[in-house]
Amino acid sequence: MNGLFKGYLMGGFECSTHRRRDGKRLDLIAATRHDRFAAADYERMMRIGMRTARDGVRWHLIETEPFRYDFSSLASQIEAARRTGIELIWDFFHYGYPDDLDLYSPDFVERFAAFARATAEFLGSELGPELLICPVNEISFFSWAAGEVGVFHPFSVGRGDELKRQLVRTTIAAIDAIREVRPAARFIQTDPAIHVTAPKKATDRQRRDAEDYRRAQFHAFDMLTGVREPELGGGPEYLDIVGLNYYFHNQWRFPSRRKIPRGHPEYRPLHEILEEYRRRYERPLFIAETGIEDAPRADWFRYVCEEVRRARDFGTPVEGICLYPIVNHPGWADNRHCHNGLWDYCDDSGEREAHRPLADEIIFQARCFAPERCF
């Protein structure tokens, strides 16, 4: 089976770099020691049939001062990619940015576009021109978290729509800049795929509000294509590959945000959500993130794989599934040990213990999806 990516099943390395409310900057690539042991991490993935990985660049380490760049923080990942032959999808903005920038300012758009251009030029010189780039991870989610409810830096409240427009402008400027130097690059736009319902005894107004909230998941993609708020500069060429992030908490009732459990009559099957995205955008799409913590990891991954097969049977050509994260990591807010990956923290030689039930499930699913591309 030929596909968009080298591997149908993929893994993603948590690469968030935003600042916590206490001022501490997160660096999950360093915290998981992936920066030191990238080669061992990629080799483990290749051994179980995962030939594509999501990984990240760390803007705050690369742009040492405005418009000056030091790419030494990428050395381990680049050398490891050369050695293993793994295909990488690069996140350029995963919530964190240099401290001197105002997220809402015109300077932010200009600086990120210049950074994206320089980084793409560098990566292309090291790994070849056919790059896979996610310019801004989760425009809608980040706008809500950082701009609307104030749980992510810069902790703004009531500015979610403003931030969404800013990040759409930022994405468009970055794509234009990258295409000037790496015209063969492909672009991935990611956001959560959700389902929202009203309470059982809701009024007509509550049902309309819930549906409006559900449809808000499409706003950023619609802005990028120019269908919504065309004055932002969007057009069809800015939506290339759609990456959908889907977790166990992605379905809830509005406005309570009470989670709808899988198996409940109101729970919408994932294959139906995927079909809606296919019909709406007619773009290649894949599951860009999925996972869960602790014991249900294998069961959840099985469910997602089964739903993707069902979607494909109904004519939705889903191009891959990315387990995210692929390694356990410290919690963003409290540094707790999150058991949500396939592999755990590593020892001083780079070895990581696997969560065996999830490993077995991944090997089984890899053979189901693409046996000729495994092992």
Token pair of 231 as six digits: 């004055």
Q: Decide if 168 is inside a domain.
A: yes
Q: What is the domain-level CATH number for residue 344?
A: 3.20.20.80
Q: Decide if 4 is inside a domain.
A: no
Of the two residues 374 and 77, the one the predictor is more confident about is: 77
Question: End-to-end CA distance of the chain, in Å?
Answer: 15
Q: Decide if 1 is inside a domain.
A: no
Total structural domains in the chain?
A: 1
Q: Cα–Cα distance between 227 and 225 in angstroms, integer?
A: 6
Q: Decide if 183 is inside a domain.
A: yes
- Show the domain range for 20: 9-373
Q: Decide if 2 is inside a domain.
A: no
Q: Cα–Cα distance between 29 and 16 in angstroms, integer?
A: 8
Q: What are the angstrom distances between the C-alpha of 364 and each of 49, 301, 302?
A: 10, 11, 10
Q: Give residue 374's pLDDT.
A: 43
Mean pLDDT of the chain: 96
Q: Decide if 3 is inside a domain.
A: no
200 pLDDT tier (thresholds 50, 70, 90) = confident
Q: Which of 18, 182, 24, 217 is nearest to 90 (CA)?
A: 182
User: At residue 137, what is the residue type?
Assistant: N
375 pLDDT tier (thresholds 50, 70, 90) = very low
pLDDT in tens, 261-303: 999 999 999 999 999 999 999 999 999 999 999 999 999 999 9
pLDDT in tens, 203-218: 999 999 999 999 999 9
1 pLDDT tier (thresholds 50, 70, 90) = very low
User: Residue 282 burial by CB count (10 A; 0-12/13-18/19+): exposed, middle or buried?
Assistant: exposed
pLDDT in tens, 238-264: 999 999 999 999 999 999 999 999 999
Q: Decide if 62 is inside a domain.
A: yes
Q: Cα–Cα distance between 256 and 195 in angstroms, integer?
A: 14
Is pTM, for the whole model, over 0.85? Answer: yes
